[in-house]
Amino acid sequence: MSETTHGGAIATGEPPRSPDDGLSPAELAAKYGLTVSGARPSLTEYVRQLWARRHFILAFSRAKLMAQYSQAKLGQLWQVATPLLNAAVYFFVFGVLLGGREGVPGGKGNYVPFLVTGVFVFTFTQTSVMSGVRSISGNLGLVRALHFPRASLPISFSLQQLQQLLYSMIVLGAILLGFGHYPKWTWLLVVPILALQLVFNTGLAMVMARLGSKTPDLAQLMPFVMRTWMYASGVMFSLEYMIRERTSAPEWLVLAAQANPAAVYMDLMRFALIDGYTPADLMPYAWALAAGWAVVIGVGGFVYFWKAEERYGRG
């Protein structure tokens, strides 16, 4: 190795050593405060990021709602017409042909309000789940192009379905008035019921969003799952009457069926809106169950979704 001297300094022909030589990539990142791009933030930081983007979430949900029926001639009227047409079909099949009007609280005259309320409330959950399962896999371009909390997508889709339900509630109010069910103080309970159901729906949508992001075929399976859930929730008939009177099932099975979250939210809404639907027609601890489902699924679904934050849109 040749050595030369320049003004008292010895040159060895090798580049000078850096103080960073010998440090691992992880040590270098720690030294200079670097972080992994797209890494999952802490849970509190994630919530803060979501709150900072609340205006985007609301605007995105409104835009999706307006675009949903933009190609149809009747436009936004289909938001109400679709569940009403479903209710008409269910009335003929279940109410007329299969005797679903039996056992309805308040008598057979309450069947139409009973049915329409159930259809609207269950549709809120059904469409939230179906939108959630496609919220990541159906928006990969947006997910890969922009950096934002991915939970914004399933949350915005749930808010979209809430806005759609609110339009339906106007029609439901007209139907209730037409059948002699006039406003009373229990109608105010609609607000906390919808708030609890929204939290439940959003948590379930986030669970399905994570599952659907890795298994796109899940979107093809979910219509069958939701249809089965609908039949098991008492949308078209009195769940308690059908199980207890038609099958002579044990009491624990009746209570288990009534504890179904979709059935709980429907029963509370029917109690709030329909005359003749008394507290005795609700299952025990209905409000506690509604709050419990909202907390368990809402919070649990959010945490479950957050844990895979850095993996969405990759692979």
**Predicted local confidence at residue 255, as pLDDT:** 83
The pTM of the full predicted model, rounded to 2 decimals, is 0.83
Residue 2 lies in a domain: no
pLDDT means over runs of 10, the chain (315 residues)? 49 59 59 58 92 91 75 61 77 70 76 89 93 89 85 93 87 87 92 96 96 87 92 85 74 84 94 88 89 97 93 75
Q: How far apart are CA 240 and CA 283, in angstroms?
A: 9
> What pLDDT is attached to residue 1?
47
In contact, 287 and 267? CB cutoff 8 Å:
no
Cα separation, 41 vs 135, in Å, equals 21
**Is residue 41 in a domain?**
yes
What span, in angstroms and rounded, lies between the C-alpha atoms of 26 and 23?
Answer: 8
The pLDDT score that the predictor gives to residue 22 is 62
Structural domain of 123: 37-309
Is 56 a domain residue?
Answer: yes
What is the per-residue pLDDT for 263?
Answer: 93
The predicted structure's pLDDT at residue 35: 52
Beta-strand pair 4-6/9-11: antiparallel
Question: Which SS3 state, helix, strand or coil, does residue 10 take?
Answer: strand
pLDDT of residue 2: 47
Residue at 76 is within a domain = yes
Residue 169 token pair:
């509630």
Q: How many domains does the chain have?
A: 1
| Residues 6+ positions from 87 with CB-CB distance below 8 Å | 115, 116, 119
> Is 118 a member of any domain?
yes
Position 229 in a domain: yes
Is residue 13 in a domain? Answer: no
With respect to residue 315, please indicate whether it lies within any of the assigned structural domains: no
Token pair, residue 292, equals 């419990």
Residue type for position 290: A
